[in-house]
Structures are given as C-alpha cells and as structure tokens.
Amino acid sequence: MTLTPEQFDLTQKRIVEHQHERYEVDIQLNREIVLNNFIVFPNVLRPEITSGLYFAKYLSGESEIFKNKSVLDMGCGSGIQGVVAGLSGANKIVFSDIAEAAVENTKENVDKFNIKEKSFVIQGDLFREINGQFDIILFNHPFFAESPNKEIPFTIAMYDNGSLIHRFLDEAKDYLNEGGFILMPFFHFAGDVNNPEKQALAHGYSVEVEHEMELNDENIQKGQFSVYRLRPLENQ
C-alpha cells in the first residue's frame, strides 16, 4: 500500500508526537466524566491526541449500553475505551492487545480507575487468546493503509495494509453473544481500505452509522469521523 502525500505527512507528524516518556494526563470526556491522571506508557499512542479520544467521548455519552454487559476492548492500547465501559457499568471487561507495552499500560489504568475486580487484561493477536463471548466488542483499529514500521513499535496501532480488519471481521462473529454487536470508529481521511462501513458488508454484517462528526482540532486531526455499529446478519 502507498499513502497519499497528505496521509504520509499527517502520520509522520503523529509519529513524532507519539514518541514520549511515561506521563499522566486529565482527559475530559464530557461535563461529568474526567479521567484524572490517566496513565500513558512509552510506545503507546497518546489517547488525548488521537481520534480515539472522540470514540471514548462517544462511548461516555452512550453509557447505558454498557450496563451489566460483557465487553471486549480489542487492541486496547492505553485501555481508555474499556475503562469507559467499566466506569459505565459493564460487569466484565476483557482488554486485549498484541503489544506488551499496551498490556502493561492498561493494567495500571484498570487498577487506577478501580475496575480491576471485573477486568481481565490479555496479550494476544486478535482473538488468539480470547475465550468466551461478549455483548459488545470495541475495536479502535489501525486506519491508514500502510505496513507498520518495525523500528517504531506503536505504528502497529496506526498502520495496517488491510489484512487485519478482514481477519477481525471473519473471527469476531464467533465471539459475540446473540444480539451482540461491534463498535468501530473510523477517520475517513485514511481512505477506504480499513473503513468498516466499506469492508463489513462482505463479511456478513449490517452496518449502522451511530455517530458522525467533523473533526476540526489542530492537536488531533481534521476531517470526517464516524462510529459504526456492526451486527452479524445471522443474529438479526
């Protein structure tokens, strides 16, 4: 895959910004919810300067969907999405990421936000280490159609040539309870290769647009951002 010059320039800028030491940050999700002193490890994307922030904001505004539900936060990174689910009343949250730094980062945030008793943090490639089924699967997947840079570990969360989303969509149905669904965000500037709306239909999912907005944040990104709800057609 080859990025456009504009995509390349943006992602290179982001790569520089995501090279950081361990730090803590207050993340304002809505008027009522602030994640105070949220922990971010080196080699983990900074959640407050990615479009994933707006996924977390959306989830915090739809907190009723998590009440007494089991949730899988796939590709959890710092753990922000699953933490929101846990604080919103989910009764079980499984966090999973292929990167050791992300797993250790998530463990600390799970402990900090007092959801450890109902949380499980696993290191693995997609569903390889996952057991059981879930009511909701969250996946803030890589958006840009390019291969990760092996010398910069966190680029695995930014870049994928298109194979990951297809593996995920093929496998995810087996991990959903009856009536369960997937929530996936997307930043449209990245193109269609990793766009759930474009790819999920061929894998037997219905796609609903849950949320759309135009990002206009100099510190994050500019352009259309969407959140999609995917349901296996056989469960409808």
- Tell me: the pLDDT tens digits for 108-150? 999 999 999 999 999 999 999 999 999 999 999 999 999 999 8
145 burial via Cβ count (<10 Å: 0-12, 13-18, 19+)? buried
Mean pLDDT on 88-109? 97
Domain residue limits at 12: 5-235
Distance CA 136, CA 204 (A): 17
pLDDT of 185 higher than 80: yes
pLDDT of residue 201: 94
**CA dihedral in degrees (37, 214, 222, 206; nearest 10)?**
90
- Element housing 5 (H / E): helix 5-17
Looking up tokens 């990793």, which residue turns up?
194
Higher-pLDDT residue of 89, 221: 89
Mean pLDDT on 90-97? 98
pLDDT of residue 218: 66
pLDDT of residue 157: 95
Mean pLDDT on 70-84? 98
Distance CA 195, CA 185 (A): 9
Distance CA 220, CA 236 (A): 37
pLDDT of residue 216: 79
pLDDT of residue 17: 92
Q: pLDDT band at residue 220, thresholds of 50, 70 and 90?
A: low
| Single-letter code of the amino acid located at 64 | E
pLDDT of 35 higher than 80: yes
DSSP-assigned states of every residue in 102-129: HHHHHHHHHHHTT-GGGEEEEE-STTTT
| Range with lowest mean pLDDT among 52-61, 175-184, 211-220 | 211-220
Number of domains in the chain: 1
CATH code for the domain of 132: 3.40.50.150
**CA dihedral in degrees (3, 103, 110, 225; nearest 10)?**
10
Residues 110 and 139 sit within 8 Å (Cβ to Cβ):
no
pLDDT of 49 higher than 60: yes
Distance CA 198, CA 233 (A): 16
